[in-house]
């Protein structure tokens, strides 16, 4: 990509070359045609005009906001409602009209910007309506309703920025609405919040396919897993191991066996777009969760004091019917995914290497889950528990590094390295070792990281040149 | 792989107005209950508890508290034993519990109006109410109960006036009566049959402020 700065410099230099008779006028002309020197000034002028218009627009917007704020209380309620609605409809319509134009890039961008502004205006309008009628509801309900409104628009237009905004709003409403987590009385907010793992999956994952966006899929998967982990606090016992381990198992099972194929079957025929596969993202997130789980329980202290957080207990327990149903549904989905995976694995023997990885991951998860359940239900494992998790973590890190050498993926290599370094450093810091030994550990990890990184980069280069030669 | 631009030229117009209609309905759903209750609800009057004058003005709103907002005022009422308590402290209510406070209308009709009297509390909606009674729904957390009547947004000039009036009444209060002192501040509201109330006006002695 040739930057504008480079073209400026080239024009300056080539003018000098021509003056010094290094190149002829013809050659200069050729350079000028190739790098479009004549448009350079025009573009700068356009940009300047654009900045001026943008600045003017911001000032005008501020003027309108200040004017409205100054007169807000003096206007009649009906007039205020009318104004809010006309602003909402006007800005969205203008944004839509500009976005629909395919002539200019800036028009589309401005259109998307206005549609985003319209989405923000939806929240402002809802808040102002509540204010005008003295409704003191919770902020979480406002964010949830606002997020739902933006989700509808994101679906209809298939716009990624609106989808991201919807994710943020729903997330804000969810994490802010702690009063609904254990609410005994069911309202629409408490249903949405208690069933969030499922609703996040239903709202955000199809949206990622609708927008064909990896970002939205990643956010959707994060929303589902984090909401799933949040439900651990609702169950009795409050022990991290007892509640978190089944949820980690479920989340990793859902992510690792995730398949795009039902979606391709459902959606792909209606459009000509080439589809992104979201399976690698789901797998990467699954590995990330696995790493977090193994690392979290590799600490000896974690097994001694299992209660990491406690919340005030009410004398009546929260009604968990909805949460149970949601976890049950997601477990059913995971079982379906794995059934489908087994069916495919039998029919497609060529993917044997991949099948082996899956088997290794599945047995790692099974060992971890069994260890936790043994510790909670049968006998405490204060020594063997952390030992098993340390071995699992080491195997995971080693497996990732090994996998990265086969596939040549940098991210996998570095995630494996980070896990390994974290494990070594954490163990050294956790057990009360000598300061001198700690300094050695730091030095060892630092040198190890540098050397292995350099080795990996060189390996990638030789690998690439070898494969070029062979082709 | 580059992400292909979605084909936007053929986006039909309904793709804008359909979600916009949904959004409009969402916005209209916000005040529906308040408007409905204001038209069809039953008027009630609440004794407004002393509020900290420095805490009264918060930005663009006025914050009020009621006699029945304090759990202390509910402990003596029948039905207190049945309410879910906070485990470590039986004097307080469990977080986020819904409670119903049954209020009874005064026999005298005066100007400014007399506040309604709280007669009992319940964790479920009472069905056996007398004609002069009404159950107000509140959400309790520890030692406080909120009824959704706590915050008002009013014009600035009125706000300053209300603030002055309330401070005045509260300052005079200790000299007027022996404890417990009830300043002459009451709030009028309309309540629906399921116990949700929306404020209509505030009385500070004989001055009336409409919301």
What would the mean pLDDT of A167-194 be, rounded to a whole number? Answer: 85
Phi, psi for residue A199 in degrees, rounded to 5: -65, -35
Question: Hey, of A136, A216, A317, which one would you mutate to test binding to chain B, going by the most B CBs within 10 A of its CB?
Answer: A136
Statement: residue A317 has pLDDT above 70: no
Say which range, A50-54, A203-207, A313-317, B47-51, has the weakest mean pLDDT: A313-317
* Percent of chain B residues topping a pLDDT of 90: 13
Stated length of chain A: 471
Instruction: Tell me whether residue B6 is exposed, middle or buried, using C-beta atoms within 10 angstroms of its C-beta: 0 to 12, 13 to 18, 19 or more.
Output: middle
Chain B residues 112-141 with a CB less than 8 Å from chain A: 139, 141
| pLDDT value at residue B176 | 47
Mean pLDDT (chain A, rounded): 83
Residue A273 contacts B, CB cutoff 8 Å: yes
The answer to whether the Cα torsion of A88, A92, A94, A95 is positive or negative is positive
Q: Report chain B residues whose CB lies below 8 A from the CB of A85.
A: 24, 27
User: Among B4, B30, B37, which would you mutate to test the A interface (most chain A Cβ atoms within 10 Å of its Cβ)?
Assistant: B30
pLDDT (mean) for A102-120? 84
Separation of alpha carbons A130 and B111, rounded Å: 30
User: Quick check: B26 and A153 CB within 8 A?
Assistant: no
Residues of A in contact with B125 (CB under 8 A): none
Give tens-digit pLDDT for B145-185.
888 888 777 776 777 787 788 778 877 765 444 456 677 78
| pLDDT value, residue B3 | 41
In this structure, the dihedral spanned by the alpha carbons of residues A244, A249, A250 and A254, taken in order and rounded to 10 degrees, is 140
Predicted pLDDT at A168 = 96
d(CA A138, CA A120) in angstroms, rounded, equals 18
**What is the reported pLDDT for A350?**
66
Which comes out higher in pLDDT, residue A413 or A305? Answer: A413
Of A42-51, A62-71, A302-311, B76-85, the one with minimum mean pLDDT is: A302-311
Supply the pLDDT for residue B8: 45
Residue B196 has pLDDT above 80, yes or no: yes
**Contact A212/B11, CB-based, under 8 Å?**
no
Residue of B nearest to A90 (CA): B20
Return the percentage of chain A with pLDDT > 90, whole number. Answer: 30
Distance from C-alpha of B156 to C-alpha of A370, rounded to nearest angstrom? 64
Higher pLDDT, A466 or B131: B131
| Distant-in-sequence, close-in-space partners of A101: CB < 8 Å, separation ≥ 6 | A107, A108, A111
Residue B41 has pLDDT above 60, yes or no: yes
- Residues of chain A in contact with residue B35, where contact means CB-CB under 8 angstroms, are 133
pLDDT exceeds cutoff 60 at B7? no
Asked if A93 is an interface residue toward chain B (Cβ–Cβ < 8 A), one would say yes
Check residue A333 and give its pLDDT. Answer: 93
Mean pLDDT within B54-69: 68
Are B148 and A153 a contacting pair at CB < 8 A? no
Q: Which residue of B has its CA nearest to A276?
A: B3
A-to-B residue pairs, Cβ atoms closer than 8 angstroms: 125
Q: With an 8 Å Cβ cutoff, is B109 touching chain A?
A: no
Per-residue model confidence (pLDDT) at position A318 = 59
| Mean pLDDT for the stretch of residues A232-260 | 78
The per-residue pLDDT for range A346-393, each reduced to its tens digit, is 777 666 666 778 888 899 999 998 888 888 777 777 788 888 999 999
| ipTM computed for the complex | 0.79
Chosen from A133, A152, A210 to mutate, greatest number of chain B CBs within 10 A? A133
Q: Does B146 touch chain A (CB under 8 A)?
A: yes
- A277 vs A259: CA distance, rounded Å: 9
């Amino acid at each position: 990509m040739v930057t504008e700065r480079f073209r400026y410099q080239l024009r300056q230099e080539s003018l000098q070359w021509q003056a010094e008779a290094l190149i002829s006028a013809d050659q200069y002309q050729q350079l000028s045609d190739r790098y479009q020197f004549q448009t350079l000034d025009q573009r700068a002028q356009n940009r300047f005009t654009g900045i001026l218009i943008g600045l003017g627009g911001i000032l005008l917007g501020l003027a309108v906001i200040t004017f409205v704020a100054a007169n807000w209380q003096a206007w009649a309620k009906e007039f205020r409602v009318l104004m809010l609605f006309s602003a909402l409809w006007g800005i969205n319509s203008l944004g839509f009209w500009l976005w629909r134009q395919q002539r200019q890039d800036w028009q589309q961008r401005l259109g998307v910007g206005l549609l985003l502004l319209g989405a923000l205006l939806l929240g402002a309008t809802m808040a102002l309506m509540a204010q005008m009628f003295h409704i003191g509801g919770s902020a979480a309900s406002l964010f949830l309703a606002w997020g739902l409104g933006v989700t509808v628009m994101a679906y209809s237009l298939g716009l990624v920025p609106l989808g991201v905004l919807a994710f943020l709003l729903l997330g804000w409403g969810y994490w802010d609405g702690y009063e609904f987590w254990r609410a005994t009385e069911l309202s629409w907010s408490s249903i949405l919040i208690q069933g969030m793992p499922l609703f996040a999956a239903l709202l955000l994952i199809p949206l990622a396919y609708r927008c064909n966006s990896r970002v939205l899929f990643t956010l959707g998967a994060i929303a589902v897993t984090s909401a799933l982990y949040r439900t651990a606090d609702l169950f009795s016992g409050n022990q991290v191991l007892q509640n978190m381990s089944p949820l980690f198992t479920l989340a990793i099972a859902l992510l690792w066996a995730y398949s795009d194929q039902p979606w391709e079957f459902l959606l792909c025929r209606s459009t000509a777009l080439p589809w992104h596969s979201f399976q690698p993202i789901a797998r990467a997130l699954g590995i990330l969760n696995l790493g977090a789980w193994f690392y979290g329980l590799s600490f000896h202290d974690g097994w001694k004091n299992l209660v990491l957080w406690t919340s005030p207990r009410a004398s009546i327990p929260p009604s968990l019917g909805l949460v149970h149903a949601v976890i049950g549904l997601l477990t059913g989905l995971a079982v379906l995914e794995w059934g489908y995976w087994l069916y495919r694995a039998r029919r497609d023997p060529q993917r044997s290497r991949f099948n082996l990885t899956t088997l290794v991951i599945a047995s790692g998860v099974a060992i971890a889950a069994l260890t936790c359940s043994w510790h909670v239900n049968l006998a405490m494992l204060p020594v063997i528990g952390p030992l098993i998790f340390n071995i699992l973590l080491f195997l995971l890190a080693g497996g990732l590094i090994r996998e990265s050498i086969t596939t040549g993926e940098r991210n996998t290599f570095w995630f494996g390295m980070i896990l390994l370094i974290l494990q070594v450093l954490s163990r050294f810091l956790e057990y009360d070792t000598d300061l001198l030994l700690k300094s050695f550990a730091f030095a060892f990890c630092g040198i190890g990281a540098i050397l292995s990184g350099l080795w990996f980069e060189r390996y990638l280069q030789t690998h690439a040149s070898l494969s070029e030669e062979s082709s | 792989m580059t992400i292909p631009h979605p084909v936007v030229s053929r986006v039909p117009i309904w793709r804008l107005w359909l979600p916009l209609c949904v959004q409009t309905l969402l916005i209209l759903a916000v005040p529906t209950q308040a408007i409905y209750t204001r038209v069809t609800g039953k008027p009630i009057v609440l004794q407004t508890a002393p509020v900290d004058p420095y805490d009264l003005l918060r930005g663009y709103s006025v914050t009020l508290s009621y006699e029945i907002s304090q759990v202390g005022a509910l402990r003596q009422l029948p039905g207190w034993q049945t309410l879910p308590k906070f485990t470590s402290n039986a004097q307080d209510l469990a977080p986020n519990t819904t409670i119903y406070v049954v209020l009874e209308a005064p026999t005298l009709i005066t100007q400014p109006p007399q506040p309604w009297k709280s007669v009992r509390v319940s964790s479920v909606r009472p069905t056996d109410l007398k004609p002069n009674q009404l159950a107000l729904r509140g959400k309790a957390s520890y030692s406080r109960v909120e009824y959704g009547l706590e915050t008002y947004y009013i014009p600035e000039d009125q706000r300053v006036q209300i603030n002055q009036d309330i401070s005045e009444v509260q300052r005079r209060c200790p000299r007027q009566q022996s404890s417990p002192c009830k300043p002459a501040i009451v709030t009028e509201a309309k309540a629906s049959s399921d116990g949700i109330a929306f404020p209509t006006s505030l009385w500070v002695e004989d001055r009336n402020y409409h919301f």
